Structures are given as C-alpha cells and as structure tokens.
C-alpha cells in the first residue's frame, strides 16, 4: 500500500484532452478505407486503459489485438530483456499496425516488439505511447504519437501499476521510493 499522499502529475481532464489530440493526429494520418482496418496492438497490461480510450476517438475501422511483453516485474527499475509472452494475432501480413504502449522509458520494449512483429510482414508499423520519459532513452526509436513528456519519476494510474496495483486510478500520480510499503 501507499502511505502519505499521492501527487497527481496528470489529471483525468488532461488525460482526456491528450487522448483526443492523439486520436485526431491518427485520424489525419491514416486513410479511412473500410477494407483496410488499422490494426491496433495494445501492449498489456499497462496500455489497456489508454487503448480503450484511444480507439473510441478513431473514425476508421480498427482491428484490436493485444500483446503481452515482459517488462518491469515488481520493481521500478527497467529490465532490458524483453520477451513476448502472449499475442492475440496469427497474421499481420500487409496490415497497417499501430503499436500502443502506456509509457516509454528506455525505449527497449517498443523497439523489441517492433522488431518482433516484423516477422509477420506488416505493411507499415507506427508507434504510439501515451507518456514518454525522453531523458531515459537508451535506444534509438522514433515514436510517431506521444501524448505527454514527463520527468524521470515513477508513475501509477491510468493503467500503470506498482507491483500490480493502482492501475484503476483515473489520474496519473507520482510514486517515489519510500512511498510504498
Ligand atoms: P522501456 O522498455 O521503454 O524501458 O519501458 C517501457 C515499459 O516500462 C512501459 O510499458 C511500462 O510497463 C514500464 N514503465 C516505464 N516507466 C514506468 C513508470 O513510471 N511507471 C510504471 N508503472 N511503469 C513504467
Ligand atoms: Mg508496459
């Protein structure tokens, strides 16, 4: 549990406005061809709340898929090894794929998942991350859609967890070492 107060870093109002802006940018960039849905791959579990909001701002046909990649475990320090544990799709051949994550830190997760899905021969792959910690980047990756840059703080809420908890918080809050017990 957390002790002490939680500091709101991104309010639910700012979250909603930011999701709408990302959706508008995606709507501008892609064709609205009914025979060519946008394949949105949500990186679970963190991106599920953002993805649910994002797809409802899109005005094109969407095929929703999910992928589970290993990430932080229970701590707040990034592990560099990225493994795909589950994926919902069999084929992406010729598809426009949008990989959606909650937050980009080192960039290892998006880069590794992007490389992984290349074997499925998608036509295009773009990256979307609701939050970004640009100061933490370790790999070179161009993220096409970023909601908000944040400082190097560990955040929870809006799908983001600390040891499996707090994903349900409607605001994004900062958690610092010593706040958790
Ligand atoms: P990266 O591979 O870019 O270093 O890390 C990306 C993943 O690490 C994110 O999808 C997320 O699961 C996790 N992560 C990075 N920063 C944070 C954070 O501040 N809070 C939480 N809850 N997860 C984070
Ligand atoms: Mg993640």
**Helices in the chain by DSSP H: which ranges?**
12-29, 48-55, 108-117
The per-residue pLDDT for 1 is 58
Q: Are 131 and 148 in contact (CB under 8 A)?
A: yes
The per-residue pLDDT for 70 is 80
Pick from 77, 146, 152, 160 the residue to mutate for probing ligand 1's pocket: most ligand atoms within 8 Å of its CB.
160
The Å distance, Cα 31 to ligand 1 centre, comes to: 31
The Å distance, Cα 69 to ligand 2 centre, comes to: 7
List, as one string, the DSSP characters of 32-68.
--TTS-EEEEEEETTTHHHHHHHHTT--S-EEEEEEE
SS3 content of the chain, % helix, strand, coil (to 5): 25, 35, 45
CA 66 to chain centre: 11
The per-residue pLDDT for 82 is 82
Average pLDDT across each block of 10 residues of the chain; the chain has 181 residues. List them in order: 75 98 97 90 98 98 95 54 91 97 96 96 98 95 98 96 95 80 50
147 CB near ligand 1 (under 6 Å): no
The per-residue pLDDT for 45 is 96
Active site residues: 105
**Ligand in nearest proximity to the CA of 151:** 1
The Å distance, Cα 33 to ligand 2 centre, comes to: 30
Pick from 72, 75, 129, 161 the residue to mutate for probing ligand 1's pocket: most ligand atoms within 8 Å of its CB.
72
42 CB near ligand 1 (under 6 Å): no
């Amino acid at each position: 549990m957390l002790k002490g107060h939680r500091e709101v870093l991104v309010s639910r109002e700012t979250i909603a406005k930011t999701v709408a802006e990302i959706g508008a940018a995606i709507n501008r960039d892609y064709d609205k061809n009914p025979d060519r849905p946008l394949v949105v791959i949500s990186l679970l579990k963190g991106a599920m709340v953002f993805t649910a909001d994002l797809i409802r701002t899109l005005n094109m046909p969407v095929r929703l898929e999910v992928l589970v990649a290993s990430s932080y475990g229970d701590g707040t320090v990034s592990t560099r090894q990225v493994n795909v544990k589950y994926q919902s799709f069999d084929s992406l051949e010729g598809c426009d794929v949008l990989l959606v994550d909650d937050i980009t830190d080192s960039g290892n997760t998006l880069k590794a998942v992007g490389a992984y899905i290349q074997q499925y021969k998608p036509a295009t792959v773009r990256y979307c991350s609701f939050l970004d910690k640009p100061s933490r980047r370790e790999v070179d990756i161009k993220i096409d859609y970023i909601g908000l840059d944040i400082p190097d703080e560990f955040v929870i809420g809006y799908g983001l967890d600390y040891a499996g908890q707090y994903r349900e918080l409607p605001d994004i809050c900062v958690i610092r070492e010593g706040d958790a017990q």
